[in-house]
Structure 1
């Protein structure tokens, strides 16, 4: 069993806020009604630091698909199910995030889980959606430690409320921008189409570049951390966004693009070996009684701003809430330390 999580401050706990829009109650993806998150974390130091994260929209299934859009900023990755989302504009399973070489086992486990549920009883085709990042620096990636029981545990324990961040689930063995990273999340509330809507974001952060906070570059040396060698892989980032705004698939694709663009705010390099993906889905199909069929495109700017802000804050949360990790080959990565960061910004 993994050790209990260490309580570390999030960005807002330090007074580092991004943008002017208010957050939801938990400042997390789960602030979007009907969206749950679960993690299975696998830690067997120093060999294994890995896991799987499940994002579970209520009611999603092969007969009750949700509108969705996907965007690849740089396609060096394995986003299983992406082509059908791009073609049909629908999401028909939960979304899993895991380690690169465990993605295929996770997809098979997700198919089995859905087929055994009532909503999958008549399914003869299914499009499982699994994103991945390479945790090979800090975990024995070749051992493919994520198994069916781990996937099912993440799906079955997915819940609303606060979301664990940092070294949990699919973020357990990840690094980003020179620091230990992992899972981060944030949300925004804003008026749209005559009512208040919520946008939630969750990132699986594992990408290269030089961190920027409030416009200032921040290297590990700037905050008193030891210099480490370059990561063997350029990294990746999966960004998943959910909203209860009544958007169609084309508009959700536009939203997914902004989620990838937002990584530039924190210093992403979008390197050759980086898989940078955005996936956005709506929690109910357009045309339901709760709202208009489609929000006019010219009113979407505040939602795009919300996405940029929430992704930036999610990455900061991933860096701040992670814990120091040493991998099987002696490589160590440290999280972004709060006090030295504040001193540098001052």
Structure 2
């Protein structure tokens, strides 16, 4: 077989795993400087059971050992190379491989300055695919220091389970089964062959492809409480001091989003954007104000926090009001570039087309003249009727309805809402941005939503291209915006991104049972129908 030849006969240089932003490749002698930085770092090594390299000679000996291991297939060891700069920022390996038991161990490390950028999440997916689909291993384990919360979070995102504790070394053993990885790992729309539109997707196909943006979640999943908070941080800078151009568009105003009046009046965004359930808006807004007061360098006497909501009461005991201020701060603290989607954060209790909805995202890249731009969308999907659902021009919803294992014990009414967050690095005015926001509804319509009476669809957009300072020595401000006749490609980008973001919110969401025994099935249950439509 070709894969066996790749493993047993080809050189280590052929074992290159290509990701969107990174490349996993064999280590070479020329990598000694980068590898020394990693193995000499006390911050990285404090959770790893090894001696810190104090000299280049020690690092060179390690590289020699790794290269020798390549030749007899003792392990597979890769450097994590950034495609853009060719820099080695970490390592990933499969080692302690027992081919008789079809079992291996996963190891990884990354330079501190490149943590929380999603590079390790991307790399782990490449290595796990290699382990389970190429080596055909049955189990992959990872032994992690019990205090290494970041590493534990990384493997838990891939459904690793805690299997045991090594008390004397303060380590925990996590394990992932091949069948679980292949069957349960969420597949996004493009990964199952669905092609939405004609524009190129961003590297992560998420709103965070627009540089500087991070997204964080805090999830509540306990019995009847199935809810949470999601926060979009447009920049690491002080948002109040360096405001962004912003706009909003209310498709259907059955909603309680805060802050839109000032956004439409002044055309600026001055806080992160938070999403939650309907009855948590007040607490989340108050927490967002406290965060801004504590983090901004400016003396704030007035602030316009943006909090969007959807009603998750079908799955969540919304009157219990589980969301607290610390959930907002946790979401901000957990913010990252390669964030999770689906039934997480504010999306935990949401429904979409009477299946499980939640958080979804997508992005598009395009050029105007010689300049390259990115537009990304994040949705909190909680709208639509199953029988209306259209995917790739096919009436998928009607097919699913006829296959349902249990009847939907509810009235088929389009209610619940959808929050749509649009971000771009395109230099646009607030008026132009509103024009872009107005087109997002076409993405919902392409999936069959008719925007029912009880479903509040609200769009909030911002551009990272221009910043508006709160103080200036001049009475005048000067900014560059694109020509009106160049807007069409941005309209297409927001429509395609919105459509795919909603699909991703459903495809990545697990099935959830909540208050009163109400259940929402994952769209993944019917993924075979989608795969057939994509052929």
TM-score grouping bracket, smaller chain normalisation: over 0.9
Q: Which residue of 1 aligns with 2:351?
A: 175
Q: What is the rounded CA distance, in whole Å, between the counterparts of 2:239 and 2:534 in structure 1?
A: 46
Between the two proteins, the alignment pairs up a number of residues equal to 340
Q: What is the rounded CA distance, in whole Å, between the counterparts of 1:230 and 1:257 in structure 2?
A: 31
Does structure 2 conserve the Cα–Cα contact (< 8 Å) formed by 1:177 and 1:267? no
Q: What is the rounded CA distance, in whole Å, between the counterparts of 1:284 and 1:167 in structure 2?
A: 31
Q: Which residue of 1 aligns with 2:225?
A: 48
Q: Which residue of 2 aligns with 1:221?
A: 401
Moved more, 138-147 or 217-226: 217-226
Shift of 1:60: 4.7
Q: What is the rounded CA distance, in whole Å, between the counterparts of 1:147 and 1:287 in structure 2?
A: 32
Which one of the candidate residues 329, 332, 339 is aligned to 1:152?
329
Find out whether 1:123 has 2:300 as its counterpart: yes
Q: Which residue of 2 aligns with 1:101?
A: 279
Larger radius of gyration: 2
Shift of 1:197: 0.4
Which one of the candidate residues 425, 430, 440 is aligned to 1:249?
430
Q: What is the rounded CA distance, in whole Å, between the counterparts of 2:377 and 2:408 in structure 1?
A: 30
Q: Which residue of 2 aligns with 1:194?
A: 370
Does structure 1 conserve the Cα–Cα contact (< 8 Å) formed by 2:199 and 2:493? yes
Does structure 2 conserve the Cα–Cα contact (< 8 Å) formed by 1:239 and 1:277? yes
Q: Which residue of 2 aligns with 1:341?
A: 530
Question: For each residue in 1:207-232, what CA deviation from the matched residue of structure 2 results, as whole angstroms up to 9, or x when unmatched?
Answer: 12321101112223255453312368
Change in Cα spacing, 1:187 to 1:223, as seen in structure 2 (3 Å) is: farther
Q: What is the rounded CA distance, in whole Å, between the counterparts of 1:68 and 1:193 in structure 2?
A: 24
Q: What is the rounded CA distance, in whole Å, between the counterparts of 2:396 and 2:238 in structure 1?
A: 41
Change in Cα spacing, 1:64 to 1:225, as seen in structure 2 (3 Å) is: farther
Change in Cα spacing, 1:271 to 1:278, as seen in structure 2 (3 Å) is: same
Does structure 1 conserve the Cα–Cα contact (< 8 Å) formed by 2:392 and 2:533? no
Q: What is the rounded CA distance, in whole Å, between the counterparts of 1:26 and 1:61 in structure 2?
A: 24
Find out whether 1:230 has 2:406 as its counterpart: no
> Aligned-residue CA RMSD in angstroms?
2.1
Find out whether 1:66 has 2:214 as its counterpart: no
Does structure 2 conserve the Cα–Cα contact (< 8 Å) formed by 1:163 and 1:185? no
Question: For each residue in 1:55-100, what CA deviation from the matched residue of structure 2 results, as whole angstroms up to 9, or x when unmatched?
Answer: 0011252222100010000000011001110111110000001000
Question: For each residue in 1:222-247, what CA deviation from the matched residue of structure 2 results, as whole angstroms up to 9, or x when unmatched?
Answer: 55453312368711000001001111
Q: What is the rounded CA distance, in whole Å, between the counterparts of 1:272 and 1:138 in structure 2?
A: 21
Find out whether 1:328 has 2:515 as its counterpart: yes
Does structure 2 conserve the Cα–Cα contact (< 8 Å) formed by 1:40 and 1:168? yes
Q: What is the rounded CA distance, in whole Å, between the counterparts of 2:403 and 2:458 in structure 1?
A: 29
Change in Cα spacing, 1:252 to 1:63, as seen in structure 2 (3 Å) is: same
Q: Which residue of 2 aligns with 1:89?
A: 267
| Structure 1 unaligned spans of 5+ | none
Structure with the higher fraction of residues in helix conformation: 2
SS state of the match for residue 364, structure 2?
strand
Does structure 1 conserve the Cα–Cα contact (< 8 Å) formed by 2:242 and 2:468? no
Q: Which residue of 2 aligns with 1:205?
A: 381
TM-score normalized by structure 2? 0.61
